[in-house]
Amino acid sequence: MPTPTVPRSRILGTGHFLPPLVRTNADLEKMVDTSDSWIRGRTGIRERRIAPDGMVTSDMAAAAAQGALEMAGLHANDIDMILVGTVTPDMPMPATAAFVQQKLGARYCPAFDVSAACAGFLFGMSIADQFIATGQMRHVLVIGVELLSRVIDWTDRSTCVLFGDGAGAAILGPSGAKEGDHEPRGLLSIAIHTDGTTAMALNIPGGGSASPTSHESVDAKLQYVHMKGQDIFKQAVRNLLSASRNALERAGMTKNDIRWVCAHQANKRIIDQVMARVEIGPERVLMNIERVGNTSSASVPILLDENLRTNTIRPGDTVLMCALGAGISWGSAVVRM
């Protein structure tokens, strides 16, 4: 994948949505055999948000998108393409992106889902960057959204303590940067990867062509997330480390050039181990896992938007992004905001 010497696209606005209902570790202690100290010690999570009955994935996505449109100073009619990173769509067909288009009142434009689990937002940004670079699209709405609470087995302590619901969004548009510009704003590097040899380490096995929904599949709980946690943990540390180093190299930067790290909030220990090896100190690593848990594809854009809105991330700041999830798929980027 070529590295742009001049950024072709940049983030014009971001937004996020978190449902109001909070489920704490103390709440989970009443549901499964777990403890607040185990969850906090192993993951860094204290609480997560849960979508109320009746709310669907596209509702959260549209709410996050509204915030991004407002920040960008754009209207729904300005959107040329909608990409929704999600593994928890409203339904298998049609794409959740189609419902988002309808809910935003956007005009007819290509709208499709990207299935790259926790890396879905970075996959979406990479696709958006390509379309903007060719001039085919001007404003691309990229959303990461998950309603994981509906695909979690709430009797399985090994998974139910990890995940939360939420949505994050960004509008990408042309960077306007030219050769020779000093510190141009935009995507300075972005790369995405998949290693399908480990595809079964994290999956929802039921409901597809392999195991269509049946009484038997439901009895066997195939509609829920199944995960080999330790396998994913090791893959995450190894691949996020190489992806972070690659992102810096492709952007022609060193660790010292990065102001903030905005990493997928899967597990505080994964982030700590990767950043210790990249040698970026915790004071530059943004975190919200304690409050929101693992929101999969929504994780990076929620964290980004929260920190833009508090002015923690300021215009011109360089941000290293990285995420890994089912597939196993992962990605990394360096963005000057």
Of 111 and 266, the one with the shorter C-beta distance to ligand ACO is 266
Facing residues of 170 across strands? 14, 142
Min dist CB 321 to ligand ACO, Å, is: 15
Min dist CB 57 to ligand ACO, Å, is: 14
Facing residues of 227 across strands? 202
Min dist CB 225 to ligand ACO, Å, is: 7
Min dist CB 35 to ligand ACO, Å, is: 6
Is 294 in the active site? Answer: yes
220: CB partners within 8 A, 6+ apart:
206
120: CB partners within 8 A, 6+ apart:
85, 86, 87, 114, 144, 296, 297, 325
- Mapping DSSP to helix (H, G, I), strand (E, B) and coil, where does residue 52 land? coil
Of 185 and 268, the one with the shorter C-beta distance to ligand ACO is 268
Give the integer Cα–Cα distance in Å for 276 and 278. Answer: 6
Q: Which of 246, 267, 294, 307 is catalytic?
A: 294
Is 262 in the active site? Answer: no
Is 288 in the active site? Answer: no
Q: Which residue is nearest to ligand ACO (CB)?
A: 325
Give the integer Cα–Cα distance in Å for 213 and 145. Answer: 24
Of 130 and 242, the one with the shorter C-beta distance to ligand ACO is 242
Min dist CB 45 to ligand ACO, Å, is: 9
Min dist CB 201 to ligand ACO, Å, is: 9
Of 126 and 299, the one with the shorter C-beta distance to ligand ACO is 299
Of 44 and 67, the one with the shorter C-beta distance to ligand ACO is 44
Q: Which of 16, 118, 262, 322 is catalytic?
A: 118
Q: Which amino acid is at 250?
A: R
Residues lying near ligand ACO in the complex (CB under 6 A): 34, 38-39, 42-43, 117-118, 157-158, 161, 202, 229-230, 232-233, 236, 266-267, 270, 294, 296, 325-326
Element (H, E) at 246: helix 229-250
Of 101 and 296, the one with the shorter C-beta distance to ligand ACO is 296
Q: Which of 16, 139, 193, 264 is catalytic?
A: 264
Give the integer Cα–Cα distance in Å for 185 and 9. Answer: 8
SS (H, E, C) 172-227: EEECCCCCCCCCCCEEEEEEEEECHHHHHHEECCCCCCCCCCCHHHHHCCCCCCEE
Strands 81-85 and 21-24, by their bridges, are: unpaired
Backbone region of residue 166 per phi and psi (left: phi > 0; alpha: psi in -120 to 50; beta: other values) = left
Give the integer Cα–Cα distance in Å for 242 and 231. Answer: 17
Catalytic residues: 118, 264, 294
